[in-house]
Amino acid sequence: MRVGPLAETPAGHVPPTVRRGRTLRHGNVVLVTRPTRTAPGTRTAARTAARTAHSSAGGAAVPGGVLAASQAHERARQRRRRWRVGWGVLVALVLAVGVNQAARVAADAVGPQGGSTAGDRTHGDGTSGGEHAATGLDPELERRFAAAQDAAAADGVTLVLNSGWRSADEQRRIVRDAVDKYGSEREAHRWVLPARHSAHVQGLAVDVGPPEGAQWLSEHGEALGLCRTYENEPWHFEPLPAGADTCPPIHPDSSWGWS
Protein backbone atom coordinates (compact mmCIF):
# COMPACT_ATOMS: atom_id res chain seq x y z
CA MET A 1 0.00 0.00 0.00
CA ARG A 2 1.36 3.35 -0.97
CA VAL A 3 1.35 6.17 1.43
CA GLY A 4 1.19 9.66 0.06
CA PRO A 5 3.31 12.52 1.37
CA LEU A 6 2.46 13.94 4.77
CA ALA A 7 0.53 17.17 4.77
CA GLU A 8 2.40 20.14 6.14
CA THR A 9 1.72 20.88 9.81
CA PRO A 10 0.96 24.55 10.61
CA ALA A 11 3.41 26.23 12.96
CA GLY A 12 2.48 25.79 16.63
CA HIS A 13 0.06 22.99 15.84
CA VAL A 14 0.48 19.78 17.78
CA PRO A 15 -1.00 16.89 15.87
CA PRO A 16 -3.08 14.45 17.80
CA THR A 17 -1.58 11.14 18.79
CA VAL A 18 -2.99 8.38 16.61
CA ARG A 19 -3.21 4.86 17.88
CA ARG A 20 -3.50 2.14 15.24
CA GLY A 21 -6.49 -0.12 15.20
CA ARG A 22 -6.07 -3.72 16.22
CA THR A 23 -7.17 -6.87 14.33
CA LEU A 24 -8.53 -9.73 16.38
CA ARG A 25 -9.23 -13.20 14.88
CA HIS A 26 -11.32 -15.92 16.41
CA GLY A 27 -11.94 -18.81 14.10
CA ASN A 28 -13.61 -17.46 11.01
CA VAL A 29 -14.50 -14.16 12.71
CA VAL A 30 -12.25 -11.17 12.19
CA LEU A 31 -12.67 -8.06 14.40
CA VAL A 32 -10.98 -4.83 13.52
CA THR A 33 -10.89 -2.08 16.19
CA ARG A 34 -11.02 1.55 15.13
CA PRO A 35 -8.02 3.77 15.69
CA THR A 36 -8.31 6.29 18.54
CA ARG A 37 -7.12 9.85 18.80
CA THR A 38 -5.90 11.62 21.92
CA ALA A 39 -6.34 15.38 22.09
CA PRO A 40 -3.12 17.39 22.32
CA GLY A 41 -1.96 17.99 25.89
CA THR A 42 -4.32 15.44 27.39
CA ARG A 43 -1.60 13.01 28.29
CA THR A 44 0.61 15.82 29.61
CA ALA A 45 -2.17 17.21 31.84
CA ALA A 46 -3.03 13.77 33.14
CA ARG A 47 0.58 12.99 33.89
CA THR A 48 1.05 16.36 35.66
CA ALA A 49 -2.01 15.74 37.83
CA ALA A 50 -0.77 12.27 38.65
CA ARG A 51 2.67 13.58 39.60
CA THR A 52 1.08 16.29 41.79
CA ALA A 53 -1.08 13.76 43.61
CA HIS A 54 1.92 11.46 43.96
CA SER A 55 4.06 14.24 45.46
CA SER A 56 1.31 15.37 47.84
CA ALA A 57 1.15 11.91 49.31
CA GLY A 58 4.90 11.59 49.75
CA GLY A 59 5.21 9.19 46.86
CA ALA A 60 1.98 7.24 47.35
CA ALA A 61 -0.99 7.45 45.07
CA VAL A 62 -3.70 9.71 46.46
CA PRO A 63 -7.35 9.31 45.51
CA GLY A 64 -9.01 12.49 44.26
CA GLY A 65 -11.44 12.61 47.22
CA VAL A 66 -8.63 12.41 49.76
CA LEU A 67 -6.69 15.17 48.02
CA ALA A 68 -9.76 17.41 47.94
CA ALA A 69 -10.41 16.78 51.63
CA SER A 70 -6.80 17.65 52.44
CA GLN A 71 -7.04 20.90 50.53
CA ALA A 72 -10.32 21.79 52.26
CA HIS A 73 -8.73 21.09 55.65
CA GLU A 74 -5.82 23.40 54.82
CA ARG A 75 -8.17 26.20 53.76
CA ALA A 76 -10.16 25.83 57.00
CA ARG A 77 -6.93 25.94 59.04
CA GLN A 78 -5.91 29.18 57.32
CA ARG A 79 -9.33 30.71 58.00
CA ARG A 80 -9.07 29.80 61.69
CA ARG A 81 -5.62 31.38 61.82
CA ARG A 82 -6.95 34.60 60.29
CA TRP A 83 -9.79 34.62 62.86
CA ARG A 84 -7.32 34.18 65.72
CA VAL A 85 -5.18 37.04 64.43
CA GLY A 86 -8.26 39.25 64.01
CA TRP A 87 -9.49 38.53 67.53
CA GLY A 88 -6.02 39.19 68.92
CA VAL A 89 -5.96 42.63 67.31
CA LEU A 90 -9.47 43.38 68.59
CA VAL A 91 -8.58 42.37 72.16
CA ALA A 92 -5.44 44.52 72.02
CA LEU A 93 -7.50 47.52 70.91
CA VAL A 94 -10.06 46.98 73.67
CA LEU A 95 -7.31 46.75 76.28
CA ALA A 96 -5.68 49.91 74.95
CA VAL A 97 -8.97 51.82 75.13
CA GLY A 98 -9.60 50.46 78.65
CA VAL A 99 -6.18 51.59 79.88
CA ASN A 100 -6.71 55.03 78.37
CA GLN A 101 -10.13 55.33 79.99
CA ALA A 102 -8.73 54.22 83.35
CA ALA A 103 -6.06 56.90 83.11
CA ARG A 104 -8.74 59.54 82.51
CA VAL A 105 -10.76 58.34 85.47
CA ALA A 106 -7.69 58.47 87.69
CA ALA A 107 -6.94 62.00 86.51
CA ASP A 108 -10.50 63.08 87.29
CA ALA A 109 -10.64 61.28 90.63
CA VAL A 110 -8.86 63.96 92.67
CA GLY A 111 -11.35 64.98 95.30
CA PRO A 112 -12.17 68.54 96.25
CA GLN A 113 -9.93 68.20 99.29
CA GLY A 114 -6.93 67.38 97.13
CA GLY A 115 -6.99 63.64 97.79
CA SER A 116 -7.79 60.81 95.44
CA THR A 117 -11.32 59.47 95.71
CA ALA A 118 -11.03 56.84 92.98
CA GLY A 119 -11.11 54.04 95.54
CA ASP A 120 -14.12 55.51 97.33
CA ARG A 121 -16.56 55.82 94.47
CA THR A 122 -20.00 54.26 94.43
CA HIS A 123 -22.48 54.00 91.61
CA GLY A 124 -25.82 55.72 91.58
CA ASP A 125 -27.51 52.62 92.95
CA GLY A 126 -25.45 52.81 96.14
CA THR A 127 -23.15 49.90 95.39
CA SER A 128 -19.56 50.43 96.42
CA GLY A 129 -16.82 51.17 93.93
CA GLY A 130 -14.05 50.69 96.50
CA GLU A 131 -13.13 48.55 99.48
CA HIS A 132 -14.19 51.05 102.15
CA ALA A 133 -16.39 53.47 100.21
CA ALA A 134 -19.55 52.20 101.89
CA THR A 135 -18.67 49.27 104.14
CA GLY A 136 -16.19 51.32 106.18
CA LEU A 137 -18.86 53.83 107.14
CA ASP A 138 -20.79 53.85 110.37
CA PRO A 139 -23.74 51.49 109.71
CA GLU A 140 -26.32 54.12 110.64
CA LEU A 141 -24.72 56.69 108.34
CA GLU A 142 -24.63 54.12 105.56
CA ARG A 143 -28.33 53.39 106.06
CA ARG A 144 -29.22 57.09 106.02
CA PHE A 145 -27.22 57.72 102.87
CA ALA A 146 -28.86 54.78 101.10
CA ALA A 147 -32.28 56.21 102.03
CA ALA A 148 -31.18 59.61 100.71
CA GLN A 149 -30.16 58.03 97.40
CA ASP A 150 -33.58 56.42 97.05
CA ALA A 151 -35.37 59.68 97.87
CA ALA A 152 -33.20 61.63 95.42
CA ALA A 153 -33.84 59.08 92.69
CA ALA A 154 -37.58 59.45 93.27
CA ASP A 155 -37.12 63.16 92.52
CA GLY A 156 -35.10 62.37 89.40
CA VAL A 157 -31.79 63.39 91.00
CA THR A 158 -28.60 61.32 90.91
CA LEU A 159 -26.76 61.11 94.23
CA VAL A 160 -23.46 59.22 94.48
CA LEU A 161 -20.84 58.70 97.14
CA ASN A 162 -17.49 60.19 96.06
CA SER A 163 -15.61 59.65 99.31
CA GLY A 164 -16.45 57.85 102.53
CA TRP A 165 -14.26 56.08 105.05
CA ARG A 166 -10.52 56.81 104.95
CA SER A 167 -7.59 55.41 106.83
CA ALA A 168 -5.47 57.75 108.96
CA ASP A 169 -2.56 57.31 106.55
CA GLU A 170 -4.73 58.30 103.62
CA GLN A 171 -5.97 61.38 105.48
CA ARG A 172 -2.39 62.42 106.21
CA ARG A 173 -1.51 62.01 102.56
CA ILE A 174 -4.48 64.17 101.60
CA VAL A 175 -3.19 66.86 103.95
CA ARG A 176 0.22 66.80 102.24
CA ASP A 177 -1.39 66.94 98.82
CA ALA A 178 -3.53 69.89 99.91
CA VAL A 179 -0.43 71.81 101.00
CA ASP A 180 1.10 71.22 97.58
CA LYS A 181 -2.12 72.19 95.86
CA TYR A 182 -2.90 75.38 97.80
CA GLY A 183 0.69 76.47 98.36
CA SER A 184 0.55 76.87 102.14
CA GLU A 185 -0.46 74.95 105.24
CA ARG A 186 -2.79 77.73 106.31
CA GLU A 187 -4.85 77.52 103.13
CA ALA A 188 -4.69 73.73 103.06
CA HIS A 189 -6.05 73.58 106.61
CA ARG A 190 -9.20 75.34 105.44
CA TRP A 191 -10.00 72.30 103.33
CA VAL A 192 -8.60 69.28 105.18
CA LEU A 193 -8.72 68.21 108.81
CA PRO A 194 -5.91 66.35 110.57
CA ALA A 195 -6.45 62.61 110.87
CA ARG A 196 -7.19 62.87 114.60
CA HIS A 197 -10.23 65.10 113.94
CA SER A 198 -11.36 63.84 110.55
CA ALA A 199 -14.90 62.48 110.48
CA HIS A 200 -13.89 60.49 107.40
CA VAL A 201 -11.34 58.53 109.45
CA GLN A 202 -14.08 57.80 111.99
CA GLY A 203 -16.43 56.60 109.23
CA LEU A 204 -18.82 59.46 110.03
CA ALA A 205 -18.64 61.59 106.87
CA VAL A 206 -19.51 61.33 103.20
CA ASP A 207 -18.55 63.50 100.25
CA VAL A 208 -21.31 63.34 97.65
CA GLY A 209 -21.86 64.33 94.06
CA PRO A 210 -22.61 65.43 91.45
CA PRO A 211 -23.21 69.13 92.29
CA GLU A 212 -26.94 68.73 91.64
CA GLY A 213 -27.05 65.79 94.04
CA ALA A 214 -25.14 67.75 96.70
CA GLN A 215 -27.56 70.66 96.31
CA TRP A 216 -30.54 68.33 96.65
CA LEU A 217 -29.08 66.81 99.83
CA SER A 218 -28.43 70.28 101.28
CA GLU A 219 -32.13 71.00 100.93
CA HIS A 220 -33.47 67.63 102.12
CA GLY A 221 -30.67 66.15 104.21
CA GLU A 222 -31.88 67.26 107.64
CA ALA A 223 -35.14 65.33 107.23
CA LEU A 224 -33.05 62.29 106.32
CA GLY A 225 -30.64 62.67 109.23
CA LEU A 226 -27.75 64.13 107.19
CA CYS A 227 -26.22 67.55 107.80
CA ARG A 228 -23.99 69.73 105.66
CA THR A 229 -20.96 70.55 107.82
CA TYR A 230 -18.81 73.19 106.05
CA GLU A 231 -19.69 76.36 104.21
CA ASN A 232 -16.85 75.93 101.73
CA GLU A 233 -17.59 72.23 101.11
CA PRO A 234 -21.15 71.80 99.80
CA TRP A 235 -20.41 68.11 99.16
CA HIS A 236 -19.49 67.14 102.76
CA PHE A 237 -22.20 65.66 105.03
CA GLU A 238 -22.19 64.12 108.49
CA PRO A 239 -24.96 62.43 110.51
CA LEU A 240 -27.43 64.48 112.49
CA PRO A 241 -26.22 64.22 116.11
CA ALA A 242 -28.06 61.70 118.26
CA GLY A 243 -31.06 63.24 120.03
CA ALA A 244 -30.99 66.41 117.87
CA ASP A 245 -33.89 67.51 115.74
CA THR A 246 -31.99 70.07 113.68
CA CYS A 247 -28.52 70.22 112.20
CA PRO A 248 -25.83 72.17 114.10
CA PRO A 249 -24.44 75.44 112.71
CA ILE A 250 -22.20 75.08 109.66
CA HIS A 251 -18.46 75.69 110.07
CA PRO A 252 -16.93 78.27 107.71
CA ASP A 253 -14.16 75.76 106.87
CA SER A 254 -11.94 73.06 108.39
CA SER A 255 -9.49 75.39 110.12
CA TRP A 256 -11.22 74.86 113.49
CA GLY A 257 -9.64 71.40 113.70
CA TRP A 258 -6.08 72.79 113.59
CA SER A 259 -6.30 75.19 116.53
Residue 108: inside a domain: no
CA 165 to chain centre: 30
Residue 58: inside a domain: no
Give residue 78's pLDDT: 72
The CATH number covering residue 235 comes to 3.30.1380.10
Residue 146: inside a domain: yes
User: Domain residues for 243?
Assistant: 139-165+203-257
Residue 27: inside a domain: no
Q: What's the pLDDT tens digit per position in 120-151?
A: 333 333 333 344 444 689 999 999 999 999 99
Model pTM above 0.75:
no
Give the mean pLDDT of 189-218: 97
